[in-house]
Structure 1
């Protein structure tokens, strides 16, 4: 890389980071998670405006020798961020003993999977090449079912913390259910990638990946839980953060070179980190935060590629995908939570929380796009669905709280003696 190209890439990197910062600030000013602004500014708004107003902008401002290293850097940021995502999937036995967890998780997972499968079946029957692509039908339908089902644990955790709901029953119920749903989603994604990759061995490869990944995560967690590893992490947390970052990038590259997606390598490393160890929290947080700061670079670089190859946003498909996603998550979650014994307000609040898809959705979409399962046009439509469903969470929770405060208290029963209350 020549000096002029390096300087050009550094200037573009600075501009990308500024766009991400402005997107986060704008989103938070209007009460939205920062990732919504980053996606809107980086992947949707910026590339779309450049494509419409100045079609030659990419060739002038971001030639291939400048854009490619930025894409690699953004991809590395996404991989580093996934360490925190995997680390957030903390499913201990005390959480799972509440039977409402099973009702809630199944109530949002099953209707969402069915809605996504129906959506994928419609696209297969419609057979529009710009949407259907050439992926195997099973992989295509299964991926769409998975994208409808996912809930974003990191974004949901941030929303709960901002609203002081983390320790409430609704908060614990939604966060644990989301972790269960996401665990299933990652397993289904492994199957999709195994089927879709040519010559990968199909489901056999997916099963091998799952088994090897589970064994590696279990063994790695036991090693990192030893007193020696705990002392080392407590004494030199910055050094362990650097080591963790290098290991994550190496694991992601290994997975990529073996025909899988880098996401699996990063996710396995994230699962190795002991969830109940306070010493590992800081290194994981630092690595994940660095990745989070670089994610806007991924959004913009990917957005430019998507918009140039999509032929525009298929609005009808985006609206239909969003409607199905909301109906399946909120409707299904509310109905089954009520069957599980939750009150109306709590059931509605939990189902709205689980409708948050956030950056986890983007990761799944990117994996599907990289594997050739999603076309650029369908990627954009599902991206809009992810942004809309995530941005709905805050306003809907505020509306539920407002209606709850405005509702009159229940009247006492006629036969109830005042002294008994």
Structure 2
């Protein structure tokens, strides 16, 4: 009993440090005018190497022994699952009355060129012959995993950027959100295929797709059952109790999905997608919001565990060439592809550039995808690290690039006035 109490006290102390580091990361990100998730990711992942550098690996092992790390792993996964319930509900946002031509072209342009860029990066990894990057994953699984990594757009981070810049109700915001829903949903499907081929060849793919189909059926049935007036009335009357029920169902389904060979977060997506998002949506948002908020509180623990697993694996050095190639291809695929799709959809040049920059936002969704691939053995530590850096760089570029576009637009708009004033003088 005493040993359990000591472990519990140890876990609480580590949690306090992690949450304090996450708070400092959010404050630093706000000061740098970056999305808060950038600070949380950096704080969580860098806690482990900073402690190891300051106090040594022996002290790190004492601070995070296996029993404590095991508890933290479960806490981080629970936080991630609960948070992704809200993310999946966010994916239910519609296109806001936009024309299907515009939405379709932006979605196609922001997904398929990025997917092709991922294929190019995967080809380079296979061609390089570097075992530190290649690993032992099956070729098809590795290629799909890298392609998914470059094609993701983070819906929750994108939504936060749009809200901070008062762009959510504008045409560019709606187009980028609608396209991001398409790209993220498709990327998750491809991730299922990648993990299925790794776990059991095409038999694993068929099994994974069967589980995926079952999840879709559960989400659709849940949406039908919860859409009625009786369910909406319950959501308005006892939202907190329903929040507890949603959290429990999401955790149980996540455990079951993992048992069936899929990533646990798919269970969270099924529950989030089952929440109604039409008439009376605000009532169900009151149910899912506390679940997502509780999960968001403990998501930094997930980053710490990811950092522990990453830096516990010896790597000779930072794979800088892989970082540069991944970042360059990611930007070309998303910004260039998003711009091309928006232009084909009828948008002007400036709006097309804005949409391309917005689609280049990756953030938390990318880290979750990468961690799933790393845990499944599809990504080596070196390649995982390179893609994490790519995700952070591309997300961090979103704000400054949007500000630069706005500044250039203001300068262009003022040129005729300046020329007219000069002529009068």
**Shorter-chain TM-score: which interval?**
over 0.9
Task: Indicate if the aligned counterparts of 1:135 and 1:372 stay in contact, CA closer than 8 A.
Answer: yes
Task: Indicate if the aligned counterparts of 2:152 and 2:183 stay in contact, CA closer than 8 A.
Answer: yes
Q: Paired residue for 1:234, among 228, 233, 236?
A: 236
Q: Secondary structure of 1:304's match?
A: helix
**Deviation for aligned residue 1:282:** 1.2
**Deviation for aligned residue 1:114:** 0.4
**How many equivalent residue pairs?**
411
Q: Using the alignment, how far apart are the partners of 1:59 and 1:386 within structure 2?
A: 29
Task: Indicate if the aligned counterparts of 1:174 and 1:354 stay in contact, CA closer than 8 A.
Answer: yes
Q: Using the alignment, how far apart are the partners of 2:265 and 2:179 within structure 1?
A: 22
Task: Indicate if the aligned counterparts of 1:36 and 1:387 stay in contact, CA closer than 8 A.
Answer: yes
**How does 1:260-275 map onto structure 2 within 5 Å?**
260-275=262-277
253-262 vs 28-37, which deviates more?
253-262
Task: Indicate if the aligned counterparts of 2:98 and 2:175 stay in contact, CA closer than 8 A.
Answer: no
Over 3 Å counting, the alpha-carbon distance change for 1:91 and 1:30 in structure 2 is closer
Q: Paired residue for 2:325, among 320, 325, 329?
A: 320
Q: Paired residue for 2:218, among 195, 216, 219?
A: 216
Over 3 Å counting, the alpha-carbon distance change for 1:103 and 1:249 in structure 2 is same
**In the alignment, which residue of structure 1 is the partner of 2:363?**
358
Task: Indicate if the aligned counterparts of 1:200 and 1:259 stay in contact, CA closer than 8 A.
Answer: no
Q: Secondary structure of 1:164's match?
A: coil
Q: Using the alignment, how far apart are the partners of 2:325 and 2:202 within structure 1?
A: 33
Q: Paired residue for 1:167, among 165, 169, 179?
A: 169
Gap regions ≥5 residues in structure 2: 418-425
Q: Using the alignment, how far apart are the partners of 1:341 and 1:93 within structure 2?
A: 16
Q: Using the alignment, how far apart are the partners of 2:258 and 2:208 within structure 1?
A: 14
Q: Secondary structure of 2:203's match?
A: coil
**In the alignment, which residue of structure 2 is the partner of 1:293?**
297
Q: Paired residue for 2:338, among 315, 328, 333?
A: 333
Task: Indicate if the aligned counterparts of 1:42 and 1:299 stay in contact, CA closer than 8 A.
Answer: yes
**Deviation for aligned residue 1:212:** 0.9
**In the alignment, which residue of structure 1 is the partner of 2:23?**
21
**In the alignment, which residue of structure 1 is the partner of 2:138?**
136
Q: Paired residue for 1:403, among 391, 408, 421?
A: 408
Q: Paired residue for 1:74, among 68, 71, 76?
A: 76
Task: Indicate if the aligned counterparts of 2:211 and 2:260 stay in contact, CA closer than 8 A.
Answer: no
**Deviation for aligned residue 1:124:** 1.4
**In the alignment, which residue of structure 1 is the partner of 2:306?**
302
Q: Paired residue for 1:197, among 175, 196, 199?
A: 199
Q: Using the alignment, how far apart are the partners of 2:314 and 2:24 within structure 1?
A: 26
Task: Indicate if the aligned counterparts of 1:263 and 1:367 stay in contact, CA closer than 8 A.
Answer: no
Q: Give the TM-score of the pair, scaled to structure 1.
A: 0.94
**Deviation for aligned residue 1:359:** 0.5
Q: Paired residue for 2:352, among 339, 347, 353?
A: 347
165-174 vs 370-379, which deviates more?
370-379
Q: Using the alignment, how far apart are the partners of 2:104 and 2:292 within structure 1?
A: 29
**In the alignment, which residue of structure 2 is the partner of 1:147?**
149
Q: Secondary structure of 1:25's match?
A: helix
Gap regions ≥5 residues in structure 1: 413-421
Task: Indicate if the aligned counterparts of 2:155 and 2:177 stay in contact, CA closer than 8 A.
Answer: yes
Which string of whole-angstrom CA distances, capped at 9 and with x for unpartnered residues, describes residues 195-245 of structure 1? Answer: 111478222113212211111110011111122211111101000111111
196-205 vs 332-341, which deviates more?
196-205
Q: Using the alignment, how far apart are the partners of 1:352 and 1:18 within structure 2?
A: 32
Task: Indicate if the aligned counterparts of 2:109 and 2:337 stay in contact, CA closer than 8 A.
Answer: yes
RMSD: 1.7
**In the alignment, which residue of structure 1 is the partner of 2:397?**
392
**Deviation for aligned residue 1:96:** 6.0
Over 3 Å counting, the alpha-carbon distance change for 1:49 and 1:92 in structure 2 is closer
Q: Using the alignment, how far apart are the partners of 1:75 and 1:57 within structure 2?
A: 25
**Deviation for aligned residue 1:258:** 2.0
Q: Using the alignment, how far apart are the partners of 1:259 and 1:14 within structure 2?
A: 33
Which string of whole-angstrom CA distances, capped at 9 and with x for unpartnered residues, describes residues 85-110 of structure 1? Answer: 11111254764633111111111111
**In the alignment, which residue of structure 2 is the partner of 1:419?**
none
1:48 aligns with 2:53: no
